[in-house]
Amino acid sequence: MPVGPVIGPMIMCGYLIDEENVPKLREIGVKDSKLLTAEKREQLAPLLRKLSDDFIALKINPDEIDSRNINKLEIEKMQHIINLLDPDAVIIDSPEVNTAAFSKKVMAGVSKPVKIISENFADKNHPEVGAASIIAKVERDKEIGKLHKQHGCFGSGYPHDEITIRFLKDWIKKNKEFPNFVRKSWATAQRILEEKEQSTIKGFLKAGK
Q: How confident is the model over 106-136, as pLDDT tens digits?
A: 999 999 999 999 999 999 999 999 999 999 9
The answer to whether the 10-150 and 154-207 domains have the same CATH topology is no
CA-to-CA distance for 201 and 151, rounded, in angstroms?
29
The CATH class that applies to domain 154-207 reads mainly alpha
Q: Contact, 1 vs 140, CB < 8 A?
A: no
The yes-or-no verdict on residue 205 having pLDDT over 80 is: no
Q: Which amino acid is at 57?
A: A
The yes-or-no verdict on residue 1 having pLDDT over 50 is: no
Span 157-175, pLDDT tens digits: 999 999 999 999 999 999 9
Report the pLDDT value the prediction gives residue 93, as an integer from 0 to 100.
Answer: 94
Report the pLDDT value the prediction gives residue 198, as an integer from 0 to 100.
Answer: 76
Closest CA to 134 of 7, 25, 54, 23: 25
CATH annotation of 10-150: 3.30.420.10
Mean pLDDT for the chain overall: 92
CA-to-CA distance for 151 and 43, rounded, in angstroms?
27
CA-to-CA distance for 109 and 175, rounded, in angstroms?
41
Q: pLDDT confidence of 3, banded at 50, 70, 90?
A: low
The CA distances from residue 169 to 164, 166, 195, 200, 208, in Å, are: 9, 5, 9, 13, 25
Cut 0.75: pTM above it: yes
Report the pLDDT value the prediction gives residue 209, as an integer from 0 to 100.
Answer: 46
Going by C-beta distance under 8 Å and a sequence separation of 6 or more, which residues neighbour residue 174? none
**Domain spans of the chain?**
10-150, 154-207
Span 73-110, pLDDT tens digits: 999 999 999 999 999 999 999 999 999 999 999 999 99
The yes-or-no verdict on residue 200 having pLDDT over 70 is: no
